[in-house]
Structure 1
Amino acid sequence: MKIGLDIMGGDFAPKATVLGAIEAAKILPEGQQLVLIGDKDVALSILQENNFSAENFEFVHTTEVIGMGEHPAKAVIKKPGSSISVGFQLLKDGGIDAFSSAGNTGAMLVGSVLSVKTIEGVIRPAMSTNVPKLTGGFGILVDVGANADCKPEYLPQFGVLGSLFAESVYGMVSPRVSLLNIGEEEEKGNALCQAVYPLMKENKNFNFVGNIEGRDLFSDHADVYVTDGFTGNVALKMAESFYVISLKKQIKDEFFARFNYEQYGGSPILGINAPVVVGHGISSPEAIKNMVLLSRDMAQSGLVEKIKNAFQ
């Protein structure tokens, strides 16, 4: 298995990404190799500084980068030599089995759809994140930003994607799928939620357990929380702030520590024809390592084939 990593993506790239690649390489077993996509000379220099052999990696050299502030679609088209574009071309051609980057999120979404494309039957790919539970473990929140504006028919598909991801990658048995809403009652919510509820209730492709409110997001009421990308992204950013606040207030608490984004590595793009993970722009080496391992786990789990089968 070959796992592609964009070493030019992220606020602290390429140093943080290469250091993260070193940590991931220490864990990967024989038969699994990292392919570093980006400036090879810089990568070799960082590896030499850290006394780590370059023989642990394959390299695909490119110096062009899509910046964080660039327009995603325009950048992907105008910069075919960028580390993100090259990574997706390798993924499309079978040169790598999974791809991850902490670079421009929009470019990663655009690149996914333009290169490996959306799985047939999936209307819109979605992004997910892990949400810690007070009782231990975590749930899956989907969508967290890929689709700010959603039609009712999108969300039941998010339920299928999230359920299969939880089941395949994390081993959850018959994960409980819920709709994030402003009340538990079936008739509650805005026009979108009211239209979505009966569609999810009728869907036999996942274990639907009804609405949950925001206050239940960190409870054990469900395993997969479905929402539109706008609401999901707001919830994600708020959850991330819990960890930052706990550090600033010098609160040492195991639960708040589990809000640290570094532990989860990144957000998978679900519903496309290959494993792709997008990392946080401020990703540290620890986050990069976990992002790489998550993309590996997605490839190992056969998640893409399972999604294809579900949408046939």
Structure 2
Amino acid sequence: MKIGLDVLGGDYAPDSTITGAIEAQKILQDDQRLVLFGDHDDTVERLKQAGADPDNFDFIHAPDVIGMHEHPTKAISQKPNSSIAKGFEFLKDGKIDSFSSAGNTGAMLVGSMFSVKTIPGVLRPAIATNVPKIKSGYGILLDVGANADCKPEMLNQFALLGSLYAQHVYGLNNPKVGLLNIGEEEEKGNNLTISTYPLLKENSSINFIGNTEGRDLFTDLADVYVCDGFTGNVVLKLAESFYVVTLKKGMKDDFFDRFNYERYGGSPILGVNAPVIIGHGISTPEAIKNMVLLSRDMIESNFIDIIKSAFN
């Protein structure tokens, strides 16, 4: 197993990414190898300074950086030696089994769709994220930013992608799927949710439990919450603020601690032909470590083959 990691991606890279890589490497098995994309000499030197053995890692020299505010499509094509472009080149050629980065989100989406490409049958890939439940554990929310405007058929597929992810990566048996809406009644919502509801209701591949409201998101009512990327991103950013507020208020609570993005590391792009994970731009070493471990879990679960089978 070869797990690709962009060393240059993120606001605190490469210090944060290299430290996270070192911590992840301590947990990985001998046959699970981290492949670091970045400036070779600089990465090796930083590993040595941190007391790590460079021989425990593989390196791909990719010295260029795609900045957070660069145009994704132009940057991917104009910077072939960037860490993100090289990562997708190796992922496409099967030289690594997964790729993750805390860098430019748009470039990660573009790289996914135009390099490893969307799985046949999938209309559009979706970004998924964890939402903590009050009692324990996490639910899944998608899409949280890949598709601001959606069609009902896309939300129907998101429901299946999220259900498969919850079942095979997080081990949830027959996960309950809810459509995020402004009311629980079937006729409630806008044109998108009203048109999506019957598709989900007729989808025998998922355990659809009906409409769910924002107040249900952190309960056990559902395990997977489906929405368009615009709504999902607003919800995600609001949820992320909860943890920050508790820190500023000096509050210590296990539930709110689970809003800390560091715990789950990153958000997978579901529906493409390889495990691809996007990390938070402000990822700390702990977040990077957990992003690597999530990559490992997705590879071990054979999740991509499961999606291919479901959409065949």
> TM-score category by the smaller chain?
over 0.9
SS of residue paired to 1:274:
coil
Give, in angstroms, the shift of residue 41 of structure 1: 1.5
Distance 1:81 1:50 in 2: 26
Cα distance in 2 for residues equivalent to 1:295 and 1:104: 18
How is 1:173-184 mapped onto 2 (pairs within 5 angstroms)?
173-184=173-184
Please name the residue that 2:3 is paired with: 3
Equivalent positions of 1:157-236 (< 5 A) are 157-236=157-236
1:72, 1:137 → 2: CA distance?
A: 34
Amino acid at match of 2:299: A
SS of alignment partner, residue 139 of structure 2: strand
Q: Give, in angstroms, the shift of residue 262 of structure 1.
A: 0.2
Structure 2 equivalent of residue 20 of structure 1: 20
Residue 45 of structure 1 and its aligned partner are, at CA, apart by 1.8
Supply the distance in 2 between the matched residues of 1:22 and 1:204 (Cα, whole angstroms). 44
Deviation at 1:46, TM superposition (A): 1.4
Counterpart position of 1:64: 64
Q: Deviations over 1:176-218 (max 9, x none)?
A: 0010000000000011100000011011111100011000100
Query: Which structure 1 residue ranges, 4+ long, deviate > 3 Å from structure 2?
Result: none
Opposite residue 204 of structure 1, the aligned amino acid is S
Deviation at 1:69, TM superposition (A): 0.3
- Aligned-pair CA distance for 1:251: 0.5
Could you tell me which residue of structure 1 aligns to residue 273 of structure 2?
273
Alignment-derived partner of residue 148 in structure 1: 148
1:116-169 Cα deviation digits (max 9, x unpaired): 100000000000000000011110001000000101110010000000001110
Cα shift at 1:48: 1.4
Question: Residue type of the partner of 2:14?
Answer: P
Tell me how far apart the structure 2 counterparts of residues 82 and 305 of structure 1 sit (CA, whole Å): 29
Q: Distance in 1 between matches of 2:253 and 2:223?
A: 23
Q: What code does the residue aligned with 1:277 have?
A: I
Distance of 1:94 and 1:80 partners within structure 2: 18
CA distance in 1 between partners of 2:266 and 2:31 (Å): 23
Q: Distance in 2 between matches of 1:163 and 1:79?
A: 36
Q: State the SS of the aligned residue for 1:153.
A: helix
1:42 CA displacement: 1.5
- Residues of 1 paired with 2:248 and 2:46: CA distance? 32
Partner secondary structure for residue 164 of structure 1: helix
Q: Which residue of 2 aligns with 1:238?
A: 238
- Give the aligned partner of residue 260 of structure 2: 260
Where does residue 130 of structure 1 map in the other structure? Answer: 130
TM-score under structure 2 length normalisation? 0.99
- Secondary structure (helix, strand or coil) at the match of 2:192 reads helix
Q: In structure 2, the residue corresponding to 1:162 is in which secondary structure?
A: helix
Give 2:54's aligned residue: 54
Give 1:13 shift. Answer: 0.4
Q: Structure 1: how far apart are the matches of 2:73 and 2:311?
A: 27
- 1:295 match: secondary structure: helix
Matched, 1:41 2:41: yes
Letter in 2 for 1:110: V
Output the CA distance in 1 between the equivalents of 2:237 and 2:224: 18
Write the deviation string for residues 88-109 of structure 1: whole angstroms up to 9, x where unpaired: 0000111100100000000000
* Pairwise CA distance, 1:80: 1.2
Give 2:205's aligned amino acid. N
Which sections of structure 2, spanning at least 5 residues, go unmatched? none
Matched, 1:139 2:126: no
How far off is 1:50 after superposition?
A: 1.3
Cα distance in 2 for residues equivalent to 1:239 and 1:7: 27
SS in 2 for 1:220: coil
Cα distance in 2 between the residues matched to 1:142 and 1:51: 39
The alignment status of 1:94 with 2:89, answered yes or no, reads no
Return the letter of the residue paired with 1:246.
T
**Distance (whole Å) between structure 2 residues aligned to residue 215 and residue 178 of structure 1:** 12
User: Aligned partners of 1:113, 1:77: CA distance in 2, in Å?
Assistant: 13
Ranges in structure 1 where 5+ consecutive residues have no aligned partner:
none
Give the Cα–Cα distance (whole angstroms) in 2 for the partners of residues 178 and 223 of structure 1: 8
CA positional deviation for 1:79: 1.1
Aligned to 1:309: 309
Q: Matched residues, percent identical?
A: 67
- In the alignment, the residues of structure 2 paired with residue 209 and residue 279 of structure 1 have an alpha-carbon distance, to the nearest angstrom, of 30
Look up the SS of the partner of 2:100 in the other structure.
Answer: strand
Alignment: residue pair count: 312
CA distance in 1, matches of 2:107, 2:44: 26
Q: What TM-score, normalized by structure 1, do the two folds share?
A: 0.99
